[in-house]
Structure 1
């Protein structure tokens, strides 16, 4: 059997979750995916696909600071070393596994090898960083050019990601593959007034959880809160109108979203793709100082798709604004088998 390494970045669960449809796509076309990541992202994929082989990659261990841009700059030397370690782990693995014929990397810079074809997945052809946007974008373009092809999870008209995924100058072939989501829309009876889905780096995940619990403590309707904590055992806690899960796997989360009137979450791109495919109404709270999420929240509000506010300003009465917006939508797309031509 021909094997392909699928390696998502461990930054929240967004990169790993949007690789779920890629993994199913490979299985449907008689390839054997090898799960490669670290931390929560790897644990999540192992729970989703318990029968697949996995490979632990070095952790980037990026710390989240109040000034994200400056913080990332100071962590750059450590980051570069980790990318090289990652490339070495990949090289050692494919040297031992002669049946590995390709790599699909979702934003892992070192998950590639000159001996086999490698694909890079990203929606950030433009990397926003304020006055440094030109430089951060050029650096990312240089990284993309080290791969044989780049898959962009949006349409060519950039309907979900705006200017982030507009074509840039690169020698690497760009292929727009449409929104990537592990979910399918289903017409189920609405049982939840609000579904809160938490994600991201732990400090920010916990911050929004605390804010949500405080804001909704006297809310009269049914609320489900998904903590986004990938732990050994799944837990469920019910307190009055509030149901709390530490995590849900894809089929369970798909059902809860379909059965919810409104979704409250970060404006991460993977979440946006999921909610668009499921045609849901949403309220976004972008992660503070994360430029990409702030841009996406502003972009979707300007298009009258979904409202947002800063975390410090949120209270449950903010959700009244949702009725004045159209909600997310995206025509379902099927990945084309021709995408696998490299392999």
Structure 2
């Protein structure tokens, strides 16, 4: 435990793009509490609602929405994002304005921004959390990566939730030659823990990410899983006020799960079918699970990670429009993911807020 924090207040702000940014902030929020800091959570949409459920006694603040949406046709995702760019810029400007007010109003001593581009201050120590030192965008990767690094350089430190060694999870996403900013690899982050429990489900399906692609995949999988024998748990990734549970033949449906339920269900499941989002990959590695990936169409990062892990003989994948339930038989030919032997010294990492 830190003896220097003197109950300093830290604003932690994850991006609302799927649920991954929010969930990987959960272990950081817990570490802040354990080291005598007072976290304030800021986000919007489903990410904020999830964190409210996880931490009902922590103060939360609402940030402007970036209104990130996927195109129905994955090939058009980049162009839809560019079309929405003015909306995103406006949200970032509003974000900066709100943060300036909040620093004074709530006496904030430090900031941890998980890919929130406008959550930053020169007046107090600011940390930027990201696994995307390179931002994949097809033939414009060099430009999107350059722009992102200009944001990173504004902060005192950049934390990458991966290891610096050759064997790592992010590959070229999270590793660059000669960074010109203060970079720290803090190890993969997961809110989950491995447990020895009796297996209940043959297959766990977990969805996440912005619409409409979440719904597109849900409908496709509902048609496919009728061919799969064995018990299935299907978590739809819809954060609502109340949890809903439905049983249809051999499939148990949940709209969402909290961390404790999710941890139990992961451990009770033999195989996992999911997107290849980086937070999900960190969770699978932490739990040592075997999985099958369906990358979000048009999202270059997920496509890159799925291809990387397949080439390393760890996890197979298929494109969304080509997936069929029989593809799951390929899992037996792959090793699966395993945890990294890393332990975070949070007290040392949080020293930035004592300077």
Whether TM exceeds 0.5 here: the answer is yes
How many angstroms apart in 2 are the aligned matches of 1:217 and 1:73?
Answer: 38
| Structure 2 unmatched runs, 5+ | 1-6
Give the TM-score of the pair, scaled to structure 1: 0.98
Task: State how 1:237-256 maps to structure 2 within 5 Å.
Answer: 237-256=246-265
1:45 match: secondary structure: helix
Deviation for aligned residue 1:181: 0.3
| 1:193-236 CA distance string (max 9 Å, x none) | 00000000021111111111100113220000001110000111
Cross-structure match for 1:334: 343
Mapping for residues 21-170 of structure 1, pairs under 5 Å: 21-65=27-71, 66=73, 67-98=76-107, 100-157=108-165, 159-170=168-179
TM-superposed deviation, 1:101: 0.5
1:187-336 paired onto structure 2 within 5 Å? 187-336=196-345
Instruction: Give the aligned partner of residue 4 of structure 1.
Output: 10
> Residues of 2 paired with 1:317 and 1:218: CA distance?
9
In structure 2, how many angstroms separate the alpha carbons of the residues matched to 1:10 and 1:39?
Answer: 6
Check conservation: 1:277, 1:332, Cα contact below 8 A: no
Q: Secondary structure at the match of 1:16?
A: helix
Maintained 8 Å contact 1:4/1:31: yes
SS in 2 for 1:171: coil
Q: Structure 2: how far apart are the matches of 1:127 and 1:220?
A: 39
TM-aligned CA deviation for residue 333 of structure 1: 2.9
Match of 1:14 among 15, 20, 27: 20
Displacement of 1:57 in angstroms is 0.4
Q: 1:173 aligns with which of 162, 169, 182?
A: 182
Q: Structure 1 residues 211-220 or 290-299, which shifts more?
A: 211-220
Q: Is the 8 A contact 1:8 1:15 kept in 2?
A: yes
**SS of the residue 1:21 aligns to:** helix
Structure 1: state its 5+ residue gaps. none
Q: CA deviation at 1:331?
A: 2.2
Aligned pair count reads 342
Q: Name the SS for the 1:50 alignment partner.
A: coil
The structural deviation recorded for 1:168 is: 4.6
- C-alpha contact (below 8 Å) 2:69/2:211 kept by paired residues: no
Shift of 1:335: 1.9
Shift of 1:170: 4.0
Greater CA deviation, 244-253 or 69-78? 69-78
Give the C-alpha shift of residue 2 in structure 1.
Answer: 1.3
SS at match of 1:224: strand
> How far is 1:167 from its partner?
2.7
- Aligned mates of 2:331, 2:289 — CA distance in 1: 11
Deviation at 1:82, TM superposition (A): 1.1
Is the Cα–Cα contact under 8 Å of residues 145 and 170 in structure 1 kept in the other structure?
A: no
**Contact (CA 8 Å) 2:192, 2:287: kept in 1 or not?**
yes
Structure 1 position 44, deviation (Å) = 0.2
